[in-house]
Amino acid sequence: MTCHLAKSRICTFSLVEYHTVSPYELMHLDVRQSPVLSRKGFNYYVLFIDDFSHFTWISPMKQNQKSTIFLQFQDPS
């Protein structure tokens, strides 16, 4: 049995009224768990997506440590 929303043609979420005007003004962050362990032992990864440019960064993690990765992303020095 399939969900009735699977065949819907209308967007189920509201459209965003806000538009960014410069890079790094709005960043999206998503943490995912990989179904397969990498050779170096990473089983999580975090995605950073810049809303303005749609540029994407991916950082692997061994544990779900998104706060540490985000701080490193903000200040890479």
Domain ranges within the chain, ordered by starting residue = 23-74
Could you read off the pLDDT of 7-20 as tens digits, one per residue?
Answer: 666 666 667 777 89
Residue 31 CB partners (closer than 8 Å, separation 6+): 44, 45, 46, 47, 61, 64, 66
Q: Looking at the predicted structure, is the pLDDT value of residue 1 above 70?
A: no
- The structure's pTM equals 0.62
Distance CA 8, CA 12 (A): 8
pLDDT of residue 4: 59
Could you read off the pLDDT of 40-75 as tens digits, one per residue?
Answer: 999 888 888 999 999 999 888 887 665 666 667 766
Distance CA 59, CA 76 (A): 13
* Neighbour tally for 7: CB within 10 Å: 7
Distance CA 37, CA 34 (A): 7
pLDDT of residue 31: 86
Return the CATH class of domain 23-74.
Answer: alpha beta
